[in-house]
């Protein structure tokens, strides 16, 4: 038995967390981290949102350390539903939504995958290429065959809608699962337009495909929480409210890590919207069974912060301003990096920095160029060339632009 354990292969280290550890150990004075999807302020430091600070102050010493129920905080769940679907839609769907609090967005995605693998029994799950790396890992763990669909066109540096829909039209079968990112796509920063979402919804509706929305960045794409939830609400309307009664449904994996800056508190929710001729109690009971076996109860403190903010008009107003502060700074850094790259004559079309949205930008840098940035300039980003715009500020954007210029090289013309 001991030999069996000793003979286990060493699993590859997580690329992002490995690079962050390497960055932390780097002693170079000009080092820059463009790795993590975590907001940083103008000084490059973690930022506690003023709304969160005030919520913590109001909670004060009143917090107990008692267990939450298996489903989590009822107040948080109701507020999370309203934030995702809008208060009117959430009320109209009341008996058709099964929601539980989860261990952030990763937990929501994982619970969705486990539930769907056991109860929907799809032949395959369609995951965008490229996407958040954990989508692959999560679905591989539940034994459903994974197919990738083209999401990003390197030629147009936009959404490959025709390629995407062609895959669904030719290979997807009823009850197959399609993973979509609701907004601020990770890693490309490229989202579908409303017209493109409408075309995608028509295919999902007609072919009766199950849609899993990963909603990790609500408020970061446009700075408007309602605008960033447009795709989810449109799909609910088209597939569930106006669709066939036997459409299999959809779900939303929701995270509060980014839009509340509560990365380490692990606050999230999973919302299952069941076919309208069914009640949601059965689905909810199955989710509770999965949660009980996996972690019993979700974390309490972060949930209390979120429900305190969203449940108070004054604090919610401050939170919306906090979102605007973060999204505005990110847009400003996109603009500055573009301006400096273009002023240096850096080869390439850098207008994409401003057309892409959210925390991330897809630079099209090669792995060799990324390695050179790290080795020579101590600038860290993922091998894919994804840049976390949050890591830029007025103190380092000129240095980063100069390094990019040197690594990319002079224009052949």
Catalytic residue set: 132, 214, 258
Radius of gyration for the alpha carbons in the chain, expressed in angstroms and rounded = 22
Is 211:204 a contact under the CB 8 Å cutoff? Answer: yes
- With beta carbons less than 8 A apart as the criterion, state whether 210 and 382 touch: no
Give strand ranges (E) for 216-374: 250-255, 267-273, 360-362
Q: Which of helix, strand or coil describes residue 252?
A: strand
Q: Which candidate, 204, 298, 201, 302, places its Cα nearest to that of 256?
A: 302
CA–CA separation, 261 vs 377, rounded Å? Answer: 29
Pairing of strands 379-380, 32-33: parallel
Nearest to 388 by CA among 16, 27, 103: 16
CB atoms within 10 A of CB 269: 32
Q: Which two tokens stand for residue 25?
A: 């150990």
Torsion from C-alpha of 397, 402, 405, 410, nearest 10 degrees? 150
Nearest 5 degrees, angle CA 60-CA 65-CA 66? Answer: 130
Note the helical H segments in 208-249. Answer: 225-228, 230-235
């Amino acid at each position: 038995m001991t030999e069996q354990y000793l003979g286990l292969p060493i699993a590859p280290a997580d690329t992002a967390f490995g690079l962050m550890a390497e960055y932390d150990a780097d002693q170079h004075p000009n080092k820059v981290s463009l790795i993590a999807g975590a907001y940083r302020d103008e000084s490059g430091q973690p930022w506690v949102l003023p709304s969160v600070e005030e919520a913590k102050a109001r909670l004060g010493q009143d917090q107990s350390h008692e267990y939450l129920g298996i489903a989590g905080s009822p107040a948080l769940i109701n507020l999370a539903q309203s934030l995702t679907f809008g208060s009117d839609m959430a009320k109209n769907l009341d008996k058709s939504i099964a929601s539980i609090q989860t261990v952030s967005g990763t937990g929501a995605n994982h619970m969705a995958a486990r539930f769907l693998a056991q109860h929907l029994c799809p032949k395959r799950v369609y995951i965008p290429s490229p996407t958040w790396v954990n989508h692959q890992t999560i679905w591989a763990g539940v034994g459903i065959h994974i197919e990738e669909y083209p999401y990003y066109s390197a030629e147009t540096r936009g959404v490959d809608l025709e390629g995407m829909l062609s895959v669904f039209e030719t290979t997807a079968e009823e009850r197959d699962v399609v993973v979509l990112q609701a907004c601020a796509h990770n890693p490309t920063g490229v989202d579908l337009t409303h017209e493109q979402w409408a075309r995608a919804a028509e295919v999902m509706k007609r072919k009766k495909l199950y849609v899993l929305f990963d909603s990790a960045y609500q408020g970061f794409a446009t700075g408007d929480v309602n605008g960033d939830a447009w795709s989810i609400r449109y799909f609910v309307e088209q597939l569930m409210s106006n669709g066939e009664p036997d459409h299999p449904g959809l779900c939303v994996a929701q995270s509060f890590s980014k839009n509340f800056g509560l990365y380490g508190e692990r606050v999230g929710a999973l919302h299952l919207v069941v076919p309208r001729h069914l009640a949601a109690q059965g689905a909810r009971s199955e989710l509770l069974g999965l949660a009980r076996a996996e972690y019993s109860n979700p974390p309490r403190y972060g949930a209390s912060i979120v429900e305190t903010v969203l449940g108070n008009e004054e604090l919610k107003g401050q939170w919306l301003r906090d979102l605007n502060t973060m999204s505005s700074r990110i847009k400003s850094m996109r603009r500055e990096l573009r301006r400096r790259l273009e002023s240096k004559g850096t080869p390439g079309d850098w207008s994409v920095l401003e057309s892409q949205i959210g925390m991330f930008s897809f630079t099209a840098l090669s792995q060799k160029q990324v390695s050179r940035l790290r080795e020579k300039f101590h600038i860290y980003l993922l091998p894919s060339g994804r840049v976390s715009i949050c890591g830029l500020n007025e103190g380092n954007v000129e240095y980063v632009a100069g390094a990019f210029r040197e690594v990319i090289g002079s224009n052949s013309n």
